[in-house]
Amino acid sequence: SDMKEPRIAAEIAKQLQKFHQVDIPGSKEPQLWNDVFKFLKKASVLKFEDNEKQKRYEMISFREIQDEVKELKDLSDLLHAPVVFAHNDLLSGNLMLNDLEEKLYFIDFEYGSYSYRGFDIANHFNEYAGFECDYNLYPDKDVQYHFFRNYLSDRPSEVCEFNTLSSLDKTN
């Protein structure tokens, strides 16, 4: 399915907003930072048989990267961003559209965890670029605004606030 198609994008947004309301028992701490630090730990001890690759790899300062990630985490904590149960892998292959019922279903919840609402939405947008990471396919502002309006469609006060912000953005 084409996630950018307005009807489908609107339905994804509405379903994601409902998904984000789900209350799963257990820790509500965002797993994002734990995952990033685990990845960094594993990445910092790799060994390559190819000497050229190993030399390039050894030029990476994992201590510096870890410090920068820690700084990002500290900054994000200051934002008090909403934490929700997130899908964390909302690519087109994890969406099922039943045309007969005109219903959209999310599937494949293996990466589901508590995370920042904005991260889950941004990660979904990033999936538009595909496996080959063609960022020309990343949704433009109009497509993003369409998504946000539909995500917030049952929250009129937030839509009003969002419309004001998007108007300001378009004047800059």
pLDDT at 45: 97
Task: For the chain, list residues with pLDDT below 70.
Answer: 1, 156-172
User: Could you give the 3-state DSSP secondary structure of residue 97?
Assistant: strand
Q: Which DSSP category does 135 fall into? A: G
Q: What architecture is the 6-163 domain classified under in CATH?
A: Alpha-Beta Complex (3.90)
pLDDT at 90: 95
AA identity, residue 96: M
Spans of all domains in the chain: 6-163
Whole-structure pTM value: 0.82
Q: Which of 131, 115, 122, 140 is nearest to 32 (CA)?
A: 115
Q: How many helices (H) and strands (E) does the chain have?
A: 7, 4
pLDDT at 142: 95
H-type alpha helices, 20-108: 32-43, 51-58, 62-79
Tokens of 101: 């019922």
AA identity, residue 4: K
